[in-house]
Amino acid sequence: MTIIVLDGYTLNPGDLSWDELKALGPCEIHERVAPDEIVRYAGRGEIVLTNKARLSGDHLRQLPRLKYIGVLATGTNIVDLIAARELGIPVTNVPAYSTRSVAQTAMSLLLELTHNVGHHSRTVHEGRWTQCRDFAYWDRPLIELDGLTMGIIGYGQTGRAMGEVAAALGMRLLVCNPSPRTLPPPARQVDLETLLRESDVVSLHCPLTPETTNLVNAERLGWMKPTAFLLNTSRGPLVDEPALAEALNSGRLAGAGVDVLSAEPPPAGNPLLTAKNCFITPHFAWATRAARVRLMQTAVANIRAFLGGKPQNVVNGWEEGGVKTLKR
């Protein structure tokens, strides 16, 4: 079967190898494919891999050769899973490959908010320390995390990893999870309103669904402490961005750190780009080399399992049984 990679550049900008994938069959690896070119390129193969190139139901119905879709990520909202299932096409993802990297990025955003390391380093290089009358200076509050409360919304693998890091820094943990569970100390399960009202830091680690879109809106931002910080390393549309910008600019929220936005790349008019005390990184939490190596290895293993008749990491309810059960 021919393998088509629609947008391979972010996974492998040149520091990894495609050799294991190529060993599975003929490959076409494209760095990027424009939306209006998806059908033309995807139509050349039976196996299609995509990271952010969207495969709608309309696309899928125009791809009679397609037998398998592999999402080069954990989130699968870029594929019409229902249409794929109806057409007998299994869709797989790569779970948990970036768990530690995402937690590390979320914590780095929090540490920047609490210590403003980048700002103070810039002022030193600009000569301020050289000219200082004292041995030390700081011009923004320095906040100790020990004893503060971290609220984690979504307590899957990444949420738990974030909780471990926060607990190691002495933070108390509140958790809001769609499926309530018994949590080991120091975590405590609470409802969403309690979490937002009591937390000093709120970190989002939940998937994007119709129910979680604009999960953090103007009303819920109003529940948070004015001294609190919001972190989002999950999906941009979890947050009502104009409402967050207004909360930051008016001082109703102390700061935010986000690695994701509602549209990526963001338009110049995105209100968070000019909001006060808002640190934004370019959706790179997943992209450490170690995480991308795991992503590549699992994506290849997923295809190998499919070709062997026992697909793994299937996310659209397609029954196991392999190629023989396909409708096409």
pLDDT value of position 183: 80
CA 133 to chain centroid, in Å, comes to 44
pLDDT at position 244 is 98
> What pLDDT, on a 0 to 100 scale, did the predictor assign at position 185?
77
Q: CB of 284 within 8 A of CB of 272?
A: no
199 Cβ partners below 8 Å, 6+ apart?
A: 149, 150, 151, 174, 224, 225, 228
Q: Which of 159, 153, 124, 155 is nearest to 138 (CA)?
A: 124
Strand partners, 255: 229
What pLDDT, in 10s, does the model give residues 57-66? 999 999 999 9
CA distance 328 to 318: 14
Write down the pLDDT at residue 320.
Answer: 45
pLDDT at 328 over 60: no
Q: What is the DSSP string of 208-253?
A: --TTTTT-B-HHHHHHS-TT-EEEE-S-GGGB-HHHHHHHHHHTSS
What confidence tens digit (pLDDT) does each residue in 164-201 have? 999 999 999 999 988 767 787 778 999 999 999 999 99
**Three-state DSSP state, 55:** strand
CA–CA gap between residue 81 and residue 224 (Å, rounded) = 35
Active-site residue, from 31, 164, 264, 319:
264
| Distance, CA of 220 to CA of 272 (rounded, Å) | 18
CATH T-level topology, domain 99-280:
Rossmann fold (3.40.50)
CA distance 33 to 40: 10
First to last CA, the chain: 14
CA dist., res. 62 & res. 40, Å (int): 9
CATH number for region 3-97+289-325: 3.40.50.720
- Quick one: which H or E segment has residue 306? helix 289-307
Q: Is 198 left (phi over 0), alpha (psi -120 to 50) or beta?
A: alpha
283 is catalytic: yes
Alpha carbon distance 248, 13 (integer Å):
35
Give me the pLDDT at residue 178, please.
Answer: 80
Q: What is the pLDDT of residue 5?
A: 98
pLDDT tens per residue across span 76-115: 989 999 999 999 999 999 999 999 999 999 999 999 999 9
What is the band of 322 on the pLDDT scale with cuts at 50, 70, 90? very low
Catalytic residue among 59, 100, 205, 283: 283
Q: How confident is the model at residue 325 (pLDDT cuts 50, 70, 90)?
A: very low
Per-residue confidence (pLDDT) for residue 186, from 0 to 100: 78
- Whether 31 is catalytic is no
The yes-or-no answer on residue 264 being catalytic is yes
| Buried b / exposed e along 51-74 (16+ C-beta atoms within 10 A) | bebebeeebbeebeebbbbbbbbb
Query: DSSP 3-state assignment of 28?
Result: strand
**Predicted TM-score (pTM) of this structure:** 0.91
Mean pLDDT of the chain: 94
CA quadruple 16, 21, 22, 26: dihedral, nearest 10: -140
Q: What is the pLDDT of residues 229-255, one digit of tens each?
A: 999 999 999 999 999 999 999 999 999
Would you state the pLDDT for residue 319?
Answer: 56
pLDDT of the residue at 321: 41
Domain boundaries, the chain: 3-97+289-325, 99-280
pLDDT tens for 254-282 read 999 999 999 999 999 999 999 999 999 99
Decide if pLDDT at 14 tops 50.
Answer: yes
In angstroms, the CA 328 to CA 312 distance is 20
Q: Which of 235, 241, 292, 294 is catalytic?
A: 235
Other Cβ atoms closer than 10 A to 250: 10
Distance of alpha carbon 198 from alpha carbon 183, whole angstroms: 18
